[in-house]
Amino acid sequence: MRLSSVLMAALLTSGAAAPVAAQDAAPPPPPRKAFRVCQDPNNPPFSSIRGDGIENRIAELFAKDLGLPVEYYSFPQRQAFIRNTLRYKLPGQDYPCDIVMGVPAGYDQVSVTKPYYRSTYALIFAPGKGLDGVKTIDEFLALDRSVLTKLRIGLYDRTPASEWLTRYQLVEQAVPYQTMSPNPEQYPGEILEKDLVSGKIDAAIVWGPIAGFYAKKVTETKLTVVPMRSEKNIKFDFPMAMGVRYGERDWKQQIEALIEKRQPEITAILLEFGVPLVQTDPVASAPR
């Protein structure tokens, strides 16, 4: 999985390079000749080499407003993604790209813009597993234990799903997957498009945009998406923003102005891809 690999990097506080030390004003940049995006080439539904992901669509929208062509610098999204894209610069050369279209708000490896959406993890399942008719997490937890304890629930390791399953005595049902695979051919939706559809697992808890996208993409069976809610000490929902280099204040302000101007179109793109949106911070409920 790779997103959320940037999201996971924020959650895991991994050994990525330390934040750029603060913010001496950068010299004025030359006029931009392109809207240059740092992207993972195989990270649907967010970005792809084909340019058909959520972030690709938003990049095209912004570039049109700026009167610039879009150029992509592709690199598999791993722990060193920012260091190898946004902050990569050889002596005498320019940076290869100027913006990362999706990072968690508060992510300290970049200068983060205002958020442009908030989503949440989601439970997604196929029919015929004893979950038909479940539309909320409360309904899921209210199922008979004989049903719940037969489930095989896929999840990526070291995500909030692990703590949640432990809280509700479902840890034995967990089928863990590696968060950051070294194989660049793997993509975040494989757990759904392959293992959930084939019946290798009965359900999965994944980042909401991934769940929503593959629920729409998969046609051979109807997948149900149930958004998770944050609880005391278990956070499932996160605001997402864009990231630019530290010190490029004018560029950041320009991007934030585009976010504000194009928020209706951005939201429409997110909904088209099936992203479950959280409008406000949910009230955390007490653990059961």
pLDDT digits (tens, 9 = 90+) for 14-36: 333 334 444 445 566 678 999 99
Contacts 24+ apart (CB under 8 A), 141-148: 141/168, 141/288, 148/173
All structural domains of the chain, each given as residue ranges with its CATH number in brackets, are 5-21+30-117+237-272 (3.40.190.10), 120-227 (3.40.190.10)
* Cα–Cα distance measured from residue 39 to residue 31, given in angstroms and rounded to the nearest whole number: 22
Query: Whole-number mean pLDDT of the chain?
Result: 88
Q: What is the pLDDT of residue 53?
A: 97
Look at 280 and 103; give whichever has higher pLDDT: 103
Q: What is the pLDDT of residue 31?
A: 84
Inform me whether the pLDDT recorded for 245 exceeds 80: yes
pLDDT band of 77, cuts 50, 70, 90: confident
Give the model confidence (pLDDT) of 82-136 as tens digits: 999 999 999 999 999 999 999 999 999 999 999 999 999 999 999 999 999 999 9
Contact 114, 136 (CB under 8 A): no
Q: How many CB atoms lie within 10 A of CB 108?
A: 15
Q: What is the pLDDT of residue 180?
A: 67
